[in-house]
Structure 1
């Protein structure tokens, strides 16, 4: 793999750390700013809202900016947002800082996925994208626990200062390692928007919303399940969340080569496996032996869906993939919000702390149904063709070449 992908992975590590660390810092932030923990919880939502808004907006605005420069601008905005958060004088300022830090998230991963796929051979594109996503998974193993511990000992502001330093290091790595990509590769806003309206792209985004919503229906309440149902202590939660990150990493490592070999079967298989694991997790949560295994499996099969979904929307928007790729991360964050809401609704209805796993299984099945429907429609649609001139005896004539 090119060293440039390492720069993308380091950037993904910083983004993943700042995205998830607030969940562990909510009590500290609430106490310091004189607000309640539920109110402080809106700081998580503010970041997610920034991702949903920023992914299509910033990608569209930067459609004519060379991708290397766009990555630098987005990482610069991410760093500014975290510095703003670190020195926010009050709750509302911090809310704004979180929104600002979330704005470049989806656009960065969208542009970064396209850049990574352009730097390798056609049959290794998914592995390159998965390698970039490894930074996000490692953040859940190392970055989030370390940043949470740092915030608990030195104050939550120290966490965002350190993440800002990671942002600066990422800027240096991106500047040194990312190659220039010619402007001919970039379409205008109109071309990007037309690609986003492709039925297969829309179905891919819907698959992400429902399928990945199944993961967040459980992940959002994983700490409560492990303490209230399984019986682990509060101090064990960080380790359990790290196990989820290990599962994510294993899923990302497996998803790359599998997606390069067979994209749609990998997507179908991961969504089906996710539904099965979520149903099993409903029972596994009651055992201190089985529950940690279930946490790893959930992270693995859940994150195995991300690479094929990313490659699917990029492939179906091949001539203008950046906006579709970035919008996929808006879809993931809608899945985050929707899955958490539905899981919480099940708990509030009195169905029990493990009921979100069954809700998640239903969402995964819906995502699988959408994916299979998209696959059937794709097979039934006529294959696109390109026409190229061929010079032969008797003068030039046209040759029709099918394109997959």
Structure 2
């Protein structure tokens, strides 16, 4: 891996970890801030909405700034955000600091991918983008379990201090390794064309599938730690290992999903959605039993990320003539789904439903997603339309 790409990977790892690590320390954060566990779940929603809404706005507002400069500024914002979260005296301030960090997160990934593809020859651009995305999957393998373990040993605030340290390392790497970059050239006259791609049924149905996937995944995952503690009966120090299993499965899923997307995109997507709905039901059935629960979480994690790959590929395929819009739709769509999932989960728990009920909602959502995918594929087949040609850059 070229050293400049490693710098971008390290920052992506840091941002990915701080987004998802909250699930591993949610009970401790709730106690420390004096709120219920369901209410603490709004920290996940706030972060996701910060990415979905604030990230694109910040990206557009900084198009005239050197990309290297904005990457440095965003990483500094990350470090300050982690320190602020570690010192947060109340839930409200913690939420505000999380949202501010999320805005930097949302802007970082779009800019980092543009910088990454500019650092390598054209033949290696896909691999350069995959390096940035790998930061997210590796954060699930290493960052989230490690952050949960640190929180279990030294308290949840120590998790954020550790994340600040990772951010400082990423900042040093970006400052030292990323060469000077140009600001993005401003384009005009293309907004209407880019908005019109939303009318393509392949695009809006894919966005619905994205929401279904994230609700099906994140309703249980947001509250995975109390689920494993209270229903499965696992010790707090065992839970990081279960999260590690989930992360390993997620990494395998990225590669599986990529190969299936290249083979038969829509048939693979439909089958995986159906299987994942069944796996979610299995989560409900085996949740009181530690060994079957651990095995199911591994498979569940793999399918979550395997399904995400063809959904992203389909959006990129059908918005090839509006690439700027596609790059903002994907992270925004995923994180709107995450925000909805955390809120829905909190409402269910506060309404008296137990943690064990959460995978059932996931199963229903994924089953509906499977139905939508079938109808969308059938309509596409009947229309015999083909994807657009890429826009000239």
Normalising by structure 1, report the TM-score.
0.79
Can you list the C-alpha shifts for 1:283-333, whole angstroms capped at 9, x where unaligned? Answer: 232433311110000000001122333333333333442443233222222
CA distance in 2, matches of 1:337, 1:111: 23
Shift of 1:215: 0.9
Query: Structure 1 pair 262/131, CA: closer, same or farther in 2 (3 Å)?
Result: farther
Shift of 1:227: 3.4
CA distance in 2, matches of 1:58, 1:174: 20
Corresponding residue for residue 361 of structure 2: 359
Corresponding residue for residue 59 of structure 1: 59
Corresponding residue for residue 326 of structure 1: 328
Shift of 1:113: 4.4
RMSD of aligned Cα (Å):
3.7
Asked whether the equivalents of residues 60 and 192 of structure 1 are also in contact (C-alpha less than 8 Å), the reply is no
Corresponding residue for residue 396 of structure 1: none
Any unmatched runs of 5+ in structure 1? 387-400
Query: Structure 1 pair 296/190, CA: closer, same or farther in 2 (3 Å)?
Result: farther
CA distance in 2, matches of 1:117, 1:371: 31
Shift of 1:348: 6.2
CA distance in 2, matches of 1:210, 1:225: 21
Per mean C-alpha deviation after superposition, the further-off stretch among 123-132 and 326-335 is: 123-132
CA distance in 2, matches of 1:285, 1:321: 42
Corresponding residue for residue 103 of structure 1: 103
Superposed counterparts of 1:39-188, under 5 Å: 40-63=40-63, 65=65, 68-88=68-88, 90-113=90-113, 116=116, 128-175=128-175, 177=177, 188=187
Query: Structure 1 pair 59/272, CA: closer, same or farther in 2 (3 Å)?
Result: farther
Per mean C-alpha deviation after superposition, the further-off stretch among 78-87 and 286-295 is: 78-87
CA distance in 2, matches of 1:31, 1:342: 21
Asked whether the equivalents of residues 8 and 174 of structure 1 are also in contact (C-alpha less than 8 Å), the reply is yes
Per mean C-alpha deviation after superposition, the further-off stretch among 30-39 and 88-97 is: 30-39
Query: Structure 1 pair 227/34, CA: closer, same or farther in 2 (3 Å)?
Result: closer
Structure 2 counterpart SS, 1:231: coil
Match for 2:291 among 289, 292, 301?
289
Shift of 1:15: 0.9
Shift of 1:123: 8.5
Per mean C-alpha deviation after superposition, the further-off stretch among 283-292 and 149-158 is: 149-158
Corresponding residue for residue 194 of structure 2: 195
Any unmatched runs of 5+ in structure 2? none
1:215 paired with 2:214, answer no
Query: Structure 1 pair 284/307, CA: closer, same or farther in 2 (3 Å)?
Result: same
Per mean C-alpha deviation after superposition, the further-off stretch among 347-356 and 311-320 is: 347-356
Query: Structure 1 pair 40/367, CA: closer, same or farther in 2 (3 Å)?
Result: closer
CA distance in 1, matches of 2:98, 2:28: 16
Q: Which has the larger radius of gyration?
A: 1
CA distance in 2, matches of 1:76, 1:266: 41
Superposed counterparts of 1:1-16, under 5 Å: 3-16=3-16
Normalising by structure 2, report the TM-score.
0.81
Corresponding residue for residue 271 of structure 1: 273
Corresponding residue for residue 239 of structure 1: 241
Asked whether the equivalents of residues 196 and 317 of structure 1 are also in contact (C-alpha less than 8 Å), the reply is no
Structure 2 counterpart SS, 1:289: helix
Asked whether the equivalents of residues 2 and 119 of structure 1 are also in contact (C-alpha less than 8 Å), the reply is no
Query: Structure 1 pair 230/42, CA: closer, same or farther in 2 (3 Å)?
Result: closer
Shift of 1:115: 5.1
